[in-house]
Chains A and B, each alone.
Chain A
Amino acid sequence: DVQMTQSPSSVSASVGDRVTITCRASQDISSWLAWYQQKPGKAPKLLIYAASSLQSGVPSRFSGSGSGTDFTLTISSLQPADFASYYCQQTNTFPRTFGQGTRVEIK
């Protein structure tokens, strides 16, 4: 199975900050990586697919990059609506493993 390791597990940031979350795969997954945002009590929401493609309707302050084993999700200027948990998921092979999540908290 492909193991997905996210870091950090949590980050404290202020509105307007640039936030970067990383995700590392235990083996090459090409660009088959997705990022999701989840708020408490809600279902996850797709932000990025295929490592760098922005899902329709998602603000452009979100961006994704990387290929192979190393990936990043960047929020260029953190907004109040962005305080949430973020998960990566490899979509290359089954089982479709998730990272353990990163909580973005208000500083």
Chain B
Amino acid sequence: EVQLVESGGDLVQPGGSLRLSCAASGFTFNTFWMHWVRQIPGKGLMWVSSISSHGNDLRYAESVKGRFTISRDNGRHSMYLQMNSLRVEDTAVYYCAREGGGTFALDYWGQGTLVAVSS
């Protein structure tokens, strides 16, 4: 069974940093692209960042470029999102998701982890 479990969400002050983790199981992790998507409570979905299966192709939304860094450790079946210079508008539930092979769609999602940026 495919499972994605996020962790690391917390309350942090503006300008602070946080590292989110996504632990994957139930599939061959090193053959899939992985993504982060966020959602402000009560609002819509926003794609944040993506990483290729071997970690050599990284993509970011313009609003997080230069502040967030996506990475993965295929040996640990895990993906990460290092979030620096956090802003109030980064407050959201952050989901990790797997991209289905050949479909480009996000076929499995984690339960989400809440990041709250507030003074």
Contacting A43 at CB < 8 Å: which of B44, B100, B109?
B109
| Residue in B closest to A33 when the chains form the complex, CB atoms | B105
- The 8 A-B residue pairs with the shortest CB-CB distance, nearest first, are A91-B104, A49-B105, A34-B105, A43-B109, A49-B103, A96-B47, A98-B45, A94-B59
Residues of A within 8 A of B35 (CB): 96
A20, CB-defined interface residue at 8 Å: no
Contact (Cβ within 8 A) B105 A46: yes
Return 13 A-B CB contacts under 8 Å, by A number.
A1-B62, A43-B95, A44-B37, A44-B106, A46-B100, A46-B105, A46-B107, A49-B103, A49-B104, A50-B104, A91-B104, A94-B59, A96-B35
Residues of B within 8 A of A34 (CB): 103-106
Residues of B within 8 A of A76 (CB): none
Contact (Cβ within 8 A) A50 B105: yes
Q: What is the minimal beta-carbon distance from B102 to any residue of chain A, in angstroms? A: 9
Task: Kindly name the residue among A43, A53, A95, A101 whose own CB sees the greatest number of chain B CB atoms within 10 A.
Answer: A43
Task: Using CB atoms and an 8 Å cutoff, list the residues of chain B in contact with chain A.
Answer: 35, 37, 44-47, 50, 59, 61-62, 95, 100, 103-107, 109-112
Residues of B within 8 A of A36 (CB): 45, 106
Chain A interface residue count, Cβ-Cβ cutoff 8 angstroms: 25
Residues of B within 8 A of A18 (CB): none
A87 with B44, Cβ < 8 A, contacts A43-B109, A94-B50, A95-B61 known: yes
Q: What is the minimal beta-carbon distance from A5 to any residue of chain B, in angstroms? A: 12
A45, CB-defined interface residue at 8 Å: yes
Contact (Cβ within 8 A) B106 A55: no
Residues of B within 8 A of A46 (CB): 100, 105-107
Residues of B within 8 A of A49 (CB): 100, 103-105, 107
Contacting A95 at CB < 8 Å: which of B59, B106, B110?
B59
